[in-house]
Amino acid sequence: GTPAPVTVIGLGPMGRAMGTTLIQAGHPVTVWNRTPGRADDLISAGAALAPTPADAIAASGLTIISLTDYQAMYDILAPVVDDERRPAALGGKVLVNLSSDTPDASRRAAAWAAEHGGSFITGGVMVPAPAIGSRGAYVFYSGPEDVFDMHEPVLRVIGEPKYLGGDPGLAQLFYQAHLDVFLTALSSLLHATALVTAAGVPAADFLPGVLTTLTGIPAMIGDGAQLAQQLEVGEYPGDLSTALMMGATADHIVRTSETFGVDVALPKAVKSHYDRAIAAGYSTKNWTALYEVIKADS
Ligand code: NDP
């Protein structure tokens, strides 16, 4: 059929990329952003700029929200739902919030939208803005399945939708868990680079090579199915990378960081996992036994 109208609220790099991709796919796109200047390129590409958030919501059945956090959504939409001149402003509307926040914040927002007659889908975008709409782009979603199914073809334009279930917190949980791996790895890359440059080695002599250590992780773990099974049952077999051996290295990284005056927060956090696993009796188990202390931390 004819491409459905879509509203995009929030025109940071991500919202702009999504708006552009939807326009290219032929959807009539309406946009709104707190700082209106960020809409300029989209307007040139054919988007309509809504004068107010209420007009933006009114323009389409489906509104995609791309903001820094969920509070920004309330800042924008609370005046809309509280406006007595527009009762039930969200009535029959679908909000798809692709902003980062906690799973609890997503659940509260779904309840808030329902209170005002709207449906709410939570999403987590798993690629950087320039990759939106391209092969390999994917987005986690959760929320009411019938609503998701109805809008799946539109959502598919920005990236492959991966629907996780009815709990609105679920997509956010998956987003956070993926970003947990991503942000920690990025900080470790910068920490490692700081370490070698503090020792006088140019970053260029180190950074390209260290990426093989990142790609070595999937090579070591495979598809993750076996590790998942071991973590599930609490078995940590293998003596090629014991907690004791890896823990000694973790200590060496802390001490080398101290020697060069580089930040020690990250390596100390890692060392603490090993110290506590060893103290708990897991020294001869595989490094995966760290899971016991990590999952128990309060
Ligand atoms: P930006 O921080 O660049 O954009 C934030 C948007 O939120 C802007 O439109 C900004 O408006 C608006 N905003 C923030 N606070 C308020 C407020 N109190 N009231 C009104 N508007 C507000 O983020 P991105 O576009 O990069 O990302 C958007 C979301 O997508 C984030 O949650 C991010 O985690 C997620 N994401 C981003 C990725 C990326 O590569 N960029 C990758 C995956 C997910 P204004 O222009 O007026 O400042």
| 133 and 218 assigned to the same domain | no
**Share of residues in the chain with pLDDT > 90 (%):** 94
Q: What is the pLDDT of residue 216?
A: 92
Rounded mean pLDDT of 107-114?
97
Query: Residues near 14 by Cβ (< 8 Å), separated by ≥ 6?
Result: 66, 98, 125, 129, 132
In ligand 1, which atom is closest to the CA atom of 129?
Answer: 40
Ligand 1: centre distance to CA 27 (Å): 22
| 12 and 160 assigned to the same domain | yes
| 103 and 161 assigned to the same domain | yes
pLDDT per residue as tens digits for the range 65-74 = 999 999 999 9
The Cα–Cα gap between 218 and 127 comes to 19
In 3D, which of 14, 7, 11, 10 has the Cα closest to residue 30? 7
Q: Is the pLDDT of residue 298 over 70?
A: no
- Which residue's C-alpha comes closest to atom 48 of ligand 1? 35
Q: Is the pLDDT of residue 76 over 80?
A: yes
Q: How confident is the model at residue 1 (pLDDT cuts 50, 70, 90)?
A: confident
Residue 1 within any structural domain of the chain? no
Ligand 1: centre distance to CA 274 (Å): 37
Q: What is the pLDDT of residue 297?
A: 67
Q: What is the pLDDT of residue 85?
A: 79
pLDDT per residue as tens digits for the range 4-35 = 999 999 999 999 999 999 999 999 999 999 99
Mean pLDDT of the chain: 96
Q: How many angstroms separate the Cα of 69 from the Cα of each of 45, 49, 100?
A: 27, 22, 5
Rounded mean pLDDT of 31-40?
97
298 lines ligand 1 (CB under 6 A): no
Ligand 1: centre distance to CA 65 (Å): 9
Query: Residues near 6 by Cβ (< 8 Å), separated by ≥ 6?
Result: 22, 27, 28, 29, 30, 60, 62, 63, 64, 154
Q: Is the pLDDT of residue 88 over 90?
A: no
Q: Which domain holds residue 257?
A: 173-296
- Which residue's C-alpha comes closest to atom 39 of ligand 1? 128
Please compute, for residue 31, the number of CA atoms within 13 A of its CA located in the half-sphere on the CB side.
32
Element holding 16 (H helix, E strand) = helix 13-24
Q: What is the pLDDT of residue 163?
A: 98
Of the three residues 120, 137, 166, the one that is the final residue of a domain is 166
Of the three residues 166, 196, 211, the one that is the final residue of a domain is 166
Q: How confident is the model at residue 186 (pLDDT cuts 50, 70, 90)?
A: very high
74 lines ligand 1 (CB under 6 A): no
Interior angle at CA 9, CA 8 and CA 10, nearest 5? 115
Q: What is the pLDDT of residue 92?
A: 93
| 61 and 34 assigned to the same domain | yes
